[in-house]
Amino acid sequence: MLRVNLAQQIAAWLLPVLLAVTVHETAHGWVARRLGDRTAEMLGRLTLNPFKHIDPVGTILVPGIMLLLPGSFIFGWAKPVPVDWRNFRHPKRDMAWVALAGPVSNLLMAVAWALTARFALGLSAENPVALPLLFMGVAGMFINTLLMVLNLLPLPPLDGGRVLTGLLPGPYAYKFSRIEPYGFIILIALLVTGVLGVVLWPVASLVLSMLASVAGMKANYFQAILSALMNS
């Protein structure tokens, strides 16, 4: 059985988590700027500096605690990038594109981490960077997949909810968007009752299996590393 100490766990998760959150939020701001809204840029949020996007509770404390709880579904959040829809030529459609940018960035990062893991597997076992790179690759594949799948849930204020709002006809979009003030409460309820994991885990598992193939890893080997990284 593979064993990983606490220092290795922290080292494996730190960079992938910071990048997953930072690039996700920056992607929202970058697409918003491309579509005409410079609010995020003017407020200094169009940056890869993680300290500009980190929410101490949502980005560090909550996911950290859930990582230490066996069988827990990881959940967290960052400070949302400010977007002013009034600056868009097509507000409804453009807001959907801005929302979609976050999950797409997580998918691209998950693939990049899979390629990192593949590179690590090609190194000599004696190479001191091989194992740390492999651990970070697995952690990066996992956290980005979960963030992508979670954010695509069609529930405002998640990205999937905003994408669906942009796709629905006007009157229906308005009614659907009125769920947003209660969206976080609904999400917590789904998490606590276990429904969130039941709904999202099959999709996440499918994506992770495909990423493991990209990394050149057998499913049971990937799972062994992931279990070691998540067990304290």
Q: Show which residues are catalytic.
A: 25
| Separation of CA 130 from chain center | 25
For 204, the enclosing helix (H) or strand (E) is: helix 195-214
Query: What's the CA gap between 144 and 150, in Å, rounded?
Result: 10
Query: DSSP H helical segments within 35-158, as ranges?
Result: 39-42, 62-68, 91-121, 130-151
What does the block give as tokens for 124?
């000599």
Query: What's the CA gap between 141 and 135, in Å, rounded?
Result: 10
